Structure 1
């Protein structure tokens, strides 16, 4: 089987739907001023990358519900890519991240634009402000593309509750993540529970479960299929984010598109970190506390923290959580009454998402 993202030429069709939509938005902003071109251009550059996982899950849930392939569902699924772009742009602002998908983050690109033009004022503040606007545009565009996808009004109405819930819950999960970094180790006994709450609402639901539910609802799926897709999607979404947390510490820059160890520099209170601090001895905790969250952490410091994460068993425990989540997800998938082709693609998507092999 080809990549599950490419079956039915989906990856290419989603990309074309995004390009077509952005072309019209570029014309709208050009009528405001030629100076607005980077608002679309930088968004387009970000949207040109990505795996299209959320769009694929939405599309294949639609097909699993018995609905046929058609351009309208591809456009509706592409709306999720705009929502993802908004989340990434705002997340990079909040985390002060320099890189995204192997290129400068959107706010860093606007900072560079300010400096290249020798404009007045603070270049960094300009970059952050402009990036917030692009993120807001992508959020608005996600709704606009969903509404104009070409699906019937009754189908869009069926999906609207999940579409709205997805966006609100993500913001709540993002806020929980901000609190965790700001509180800097409050109530260590509850750290693992809080980290899992962040995973569920900042990533697992909007990355996997809700795209599945949205696609099925658009197709008019009944409660049994929706319950089955939820049981498949939620543990998969959590496993997907746990893999992301491991890559944020141990990942190859060529794969992640971000500097190695960036989550350690940003002080990300992930499950991996919660497990490390729970099981570290006093010396390990002291070393970890001295370096974790240091923006200037060098390669040697990253290596030292990695050693502690491995020595405490936190890496192995997180890998086991991923394996368990994938197992639970696939077990649920095989209880759902759907056609074999959809089941096969969804299963391959699940395995690849947790291995990050696409």
Structure 2
């Protein structure tokens, strides 16, 4: 009988946690499959994408809702280092509610839309609003669902290109896990491929799922009421996603928070008490890591928090120094495992932690309103 996260399949199914555990555990394999799929489609992708990337004034918006929004927040800082600041991370939820603040009519724009289902109301509406507001707009859809609205729309639209990831990345569980990380890998494979760094991230992550699993399970057994995740630069996107995973999978029983290491002192540090766990994501940047190390020492010396954990290349056995965006993969895997076991041990049902339906796998209950343009109030 198969087992995932060291729990046998029958027990996982009994606890309604089978899909979450399986999808967390499959991620290193999914990253390799995703990279292979992108490479196999490289000729088509480049034929569509290269003319756009050659535009001097091109604006690239990385967008999604919830977990999918954090993909862009994780990627943009790294991608901008070598691309002259063309990349911006803007959530679809912001675009839909305030399109005139975010969409520039006369600036050629490539909107990269992320979506596990590709059918959330804001994802579809953002594409339509961008086409309405921007004179020259193009859409790269990265999704896990070939039958989603965005993938189907792309098939019949000249200004759209859809990349559908391997079928197992279409998570069946409530929480996005392998879909999130695989969409990150797909983006890197397109915009900034690095097979060596991917291999290091895969190796470290397999270590976490193997010999590192007992350590993570022990940490997850701590009697926690609050969890704090701290990351700088693109790692703040991972901090947001880690906080969301804990909140989702424990149905709010463990409250979570995210911040940057420097921002944490400016008020949020007040939430630390004897029931608070803190996880600090270390940057590969020597300069930025100085500030993270200072805060880590301060939190340990305070002696208030239940635990303070610093994740870095040494603690995760990453064989070589890799960029933050590649470190993000084993970092979020570590936190997904913690969130799963806090849910599992707390008597929740990880595959559907909110069975009463207030929160859904694909967002429901969103009314999309028509945007009426006037001469004095049009997208700028």
TM-score normalised by structure 1 residue count: 0.28
Select the structure that is richer in strand.
Answer: 2
Select the structure that is richer in helix.
Answer: 1
TM-score normalised by structure 2 residue count: 0.27
